[in-house]
Amino acid sequence: MGVEHDVVLYIKEPPDEETLRAIAGGLEDPIEDLVRKDSKFKKLELNPDDYVGNLENVVEILVKHKQLLQRPVVVKGKKAIIGRPKDRIAAFLS
């Protein structure tokens, strides 16, 4: 794409609470979309409704369980998106 970028390996370098709040604050998607609702989510017996519009719950679960962070998250300045589907990334960066 020819865009200078940084890749953050979220398992090795998980975002801290402050970073997660900054991402959520600029997110163009619903904040609950930051949480993956996959097998790990189900194994933890979490309720998806607990995260709808709830920044505190989203940040708390992502600090505790970094594997639940939806990815890729693309940040440009103070704005952010979840890069799914992939074609959203090019549109966001242009």
Q: What is the mean pLDDT of each run of 10 residues along the chain (94 residues)?
A: 81 95 96 96 97 97 97 94 93 90
CATH code, domain with 36: 3.40.30.10
- State how far Cα 70 lies from the chain centre: 5
pLDDT for 1:
59
Within-domain flag for 32: yes
In which domain, by residue range, is 53 found?
17-93
12 lies in some domain? no
In a domain, 55, yes or no: yes
Instruction: Say if 62 falls within a structural domain.
Output: yes
Q: Give the total number of structural domains in the chain.
A: 1
Phi, psi at 74, each rounded to 5°: -115, 125
Q: Are 52 and 34 in contact (CB under 8 A)?
A: no
Asked whether residue 63 is domain-assigned, the answer is yes
State whether residue 76 is helix, strand or coil. strand
Residue 11 domain-assigned (yes or no): no
